[in-house]
Amino acid sequence: MTPEWNDLSPDEKKRSAKTMEIFAAMVEQIDENIGRVTEYLKETGELDNTFVLFMSDNGAEGAAMEALPKNYDNRTENLGNKDSFIWYGPRWANAGTAPSKGVKGTVFEGGVRCPCIIRCPPLQPQAGSISNSFLTVMDILPTVPELARLKHPGTTYRGREVVLPRGKSWVPHLASSRADDVSIHDEDTHIHGWELFGHRAIRQGNWKAVWDPKAAKEEWQLYDLAEDPSEQNDVADKHAEILDKLVVFWDQYVAETGMIPSPAF
């Protein structure tokens, strides 16, 4: 982790603020150009006939960029030009994912939870509704064909075997006048897993088991996301039977997905 803000030198503070300024400008550019697309759809009469989905990539990038190619000019005065290449580092990343724990590259909520904005007037004529239902990026695949009235071919396509999507369509959820009453995934039975660079997690309902290779102890942690969405309190000792069940689910997840364990596993 980089030093606290108050421990930075004036030049370091200037550089850190500059990187966030560039990030904010990029976000503004994205917003402006999404607006251009929206205006075009309005002008062509297609906006209300278009399913709009805007979803962030997972987690804020917290890497420190120690191994940049030598041909970039990352002097503070040159940041933001075409021959610079930067990101804002772990402190800004933690601020970006707050109050969630972790950043990109971890399986804590700060590394896997991201915003998703949807506009679909035929299903949700009332603007501004907020849903806290659990969903995954894998749900997009079954959702879009259903909206387009296309049927998935099943387990075979053009004479060869294909894998069924693991996600579920959002259409019933979006079509409900009380969306939070219609869950996308059955919270009592649905199992969802993550793995990356030795990090692993398995979730059922509000219970989530996490293996953090950077933790002081090499053991599973357990969090109750209903009571502790920031994953601050490991309750593995208090709920050993729940953790044991989730670890079994992890082994099943590995088998079902054909995951090849890395040396870190």
- Please tell me the predicted confidence (pLDDT) of residue 65: 61
What's the pLDDT score for residue 150? Answer: 93
- E-only strand ranges, 38-87: 52-55
Give CATH 3.30.1120.10 domain extents, the chain. 190-265
Q: Which phi-psi region, left, alpha or beta, contains residue 260 (left: φ > 0; alpha: ψ -120 to 50)? A: beta
| Amino acid 265: pLDDT | 60
pLDDT at 107: 95
| Residue 179 pLDDT | 56
CATH fold, domain 190-265, is Arylsulfatase, C-terminal domain (3.30.1120)
What pLDDT is stored for residue 67 in this prediction?
60
* pLDDT at residue number 28: 97
Q: Where are the beta strands (DSSP E) in 7-110?
A: 52-55
d(CA 58, CA 110): 8
pLDDT at 243: 98
In which residue ranges of the chain is pLDDT below 70? Answer: 1, 64-69, 125, 178-182, 187-188, 263-265
- pLDDT at res. 181: 62
Output the pLDDT for position 236. Answer: 98
The per-residue pLDDT for 186 is 76
Q: What is the pLDDT of residues 47-73, one digit of tens each?
A: 999 999 999 888 888 776 656 667 889
The whole-number pLDDT of residue 158 equals 95
Q: What are phi and psi of 241, to 5 degrees?
A: -65, -35
